[in-house]
Amino acid sequence: MYRISSRPLLCAVSSAVPEQVMSGAHLRLRAQALRLLEAESMLDARYAFRFVTIDGVRDDLLILAGESLEAPWLIPKSGRLTAVACCVATLGEGLEDRVRTLFTARRAALALVLDSIGNEILMVLARRAQDHMRAAATGRGLSMAGELRSGDPGLALDTQRRILALAAADELGITLSSGCVMRPLKSTSMVLGAGIALREVGWSRCDPCPSRPRCRVATGARMNSASPPPRTQP
């Protein structure tokens, strides 16, 4: 398990260019929410990941840890897939608890903005976890390509429980409801292919999204490339 200080995460979100034009009222609420995040210790940002060796491939199924995982998009057209990197990340329960208290205090607008910023912070945390995984893969002589999350095209929602188990989500206190909702709510999981001489994939998990052409996250996605990034510290 790796724990990340809230300061670099808040700096990344504070300096990000908004994807759409915000009204003056929204900008003021955003500034207020960021001040709350800086003043209160509501973030407990952590992530964990594991490289799980693939025992074999049968049709569209990856055989790993004695079970099968249907993830055909991760099967490369060239190179050799040797493992799947399973990762889980969370911001803890503090932020969602603060959002709840704001709603109770009838400050719904601020609550919604704070919740939205929480999603941005979780995305930054996930990217940091990916950078760490890629650095770890490079240290093992592996390359990485592709990114999927349960519920994406190419990875069914009911794979979530298996992926959380493989990523050691229990170490972070993450649980899963019968409807595949993670707790704490500000949590995410992902799987990525790892192997020998993997090349850039020709797809992205963002492909089906109608907002892709104008989305900063989709156009700046880095995990579609198998080439390793500069080494970074978690």
| pLDDT top residue among 18 and 137 | 137
Q: E strands of 98-174, at which residues?
A: 143-148
Position 154 scores a pLDDT of 81
Instruction: Say if 224 falls within a structural domain.
Output: no
What is the domain count for the chain? Answer: 1
Position 217 scores a pLDDT of 56
pTM to 2 decimals? 0.84
Longest dimension (CA), the chain: 56
Domain residues for 109?
2-219
212 to 82, 96, 109: CA distances (angstroms):
30, 27, 27
Q: E strands of 97-201, at which residues?
A: 143-148, 175-176, 182-183, 187-196
The 10 Å CB-count burial string (b at 16+, else e) for 49-77 is bbbbebeeeeeeebebbeebbebebbebe
Instruction: Say if 231 falls within a structural domain.
Output: no
CATH of the domain at 24: 3.40.109.40
Element (H, E) at 46: strand 45-58
Instruction: Say if 230 falls within a structural domain.
Output: no
6-46 per-position pLDDT tens digit = 999 999 998 876 656 678 888 899 999 999 999 999 999 99
